[in-house]
């Protein structure tokens, strides 16, 4: 028994020498695996941000008052009516009759004569208003005397005045008005050599117009005229008064 043991001892030692590194390597692997298993994984860090609450607006303190506000807003400006009021474009035509007095001097015969006759008047006035109820413009006024008894005969005399005028309505919504014109004047005669004369003259009038539409009115007025005219053959002074009917757009 002892003899077998002594002879087997070298074999056992050799086997141990061969197995010792393998056992040692296996032990190291086992320890490493156990360390990996036993070591816990680090948990990821979680960051939580808490939103701050929004700041609440601070209400201004109400100041107590003992006074009551009785102020009333002013009313809107009233719109001014433009219908049935004299404004804007002005156009007037007149027609009527009256008389014309004439003094005529025949220079060639060194004689003068005067006389009066029924006359027809016809006018046209064009202009515009420069202020409520005030019109300015150009007027052409005419008188035609059909039978003036001068120099022992009856003659026809045509007489005109042309120039600027004004026509005023004291109340722009009413019909009463007064006006005047001044300007160039002339006359022609159908006898006494067919003479003509030129000079200056004027006219005044007053009357009343009644509304028939927003911008139209009709009425009547009295018109007086006067002029002095001179030519190479005759001189003439003429004065007239006519009652006219009128149509007005203004």
- Tens of pLDDT, residue by residue over 15-54, are 555 555 555 555 555 555 555 554 455 555 555 555 566 6
> For the chain, percent helix, then strand, then coil, each to nearest 5?
15, 55, 30
Q: Which residues of 53-90 are buried (b: 16+ CB within 10 A; e: fewer)?
A: eeeeeeeeeeeeeeeeeeeeeeeeeeeeeeeebbbeeb
Backbone angles phi, psi at 174, to 5 degrees: -105, 175
What is the C-alpha separation between 238 and 249, in angstroms, rounded? Answer: 30
What number is the average pLDDT over the span 215-227?
Answer: 97
Residue 80 pLDDT greater than 60, yes or no: no
Better-predicted residue by pLDDT, 149 or 193: 149
> How many separate helices (H) and strands (E) can be counted in the chain?
1, 8
Could you read off the pLDDT of 119-134 as tens digits, one per residue? Answer: 999 999 999 999 999 9
pLDDT given at position 19: 57
Domains, the chain, ordered by start: 89-249 (2.40.160)
Residue 196 pLDDT greater than 50, yes or no: yes
Point out the least confidently predicted range of 4-13, 61-70, 136-145, 205-214.
Answer: 4-13
pLDDT given at position 190: 78
């Amino acid at each position: 028994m002892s003899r077998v043991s002594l002879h087997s001892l070298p074999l056992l030692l050799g086997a141990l020498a061969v197995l010792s590194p393998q056992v040692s390597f296996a032990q190291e692997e086992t320890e490493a695996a156990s360390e990996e298993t036993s070591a816990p994984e680090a948990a990821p860090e979680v960051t939580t941000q808490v939103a701050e609450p929004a700041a609440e607006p601070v209400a201004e303190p109400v100041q107590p008052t003992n006074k009551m506000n009785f102020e009333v807003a002013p009313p809107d400006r009233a719109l001014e009516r433009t219908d049935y009021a004299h404004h804007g474009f002005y156009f007037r035509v007149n027609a009527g009759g009256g008389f014309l007095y004439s003094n005529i001097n025949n220079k060639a015969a060194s004689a003068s004569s005067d006389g009066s006759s029924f006359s027809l008047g016809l006018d046209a006035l064009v202009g515009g208003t420069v202020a409520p109820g005030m019109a300015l413009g150009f007027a052409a006024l005419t008188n035609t005397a059909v039978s003036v008894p001068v120099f022992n005969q009856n003659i026809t005399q045509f007489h005109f005045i042309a120039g600027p005028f004004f026509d005023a309505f004291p109340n722009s919504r009413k019909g009463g008005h007064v006006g005047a014109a001044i300007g160039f004047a002339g006359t022609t005669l159908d006898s006494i050599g067919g003479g003509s004369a030129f000079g200056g003259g004027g006219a005044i009038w007053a009357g009343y117009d009644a509304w028939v539409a927003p911008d139209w009115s009709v009425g009547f007025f009295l018109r007086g005229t006067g002029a002095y005219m001179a030519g190479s053959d005759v001189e003439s002074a003429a004065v007239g008064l006519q009652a006219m009917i009128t149509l007005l757009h203004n």
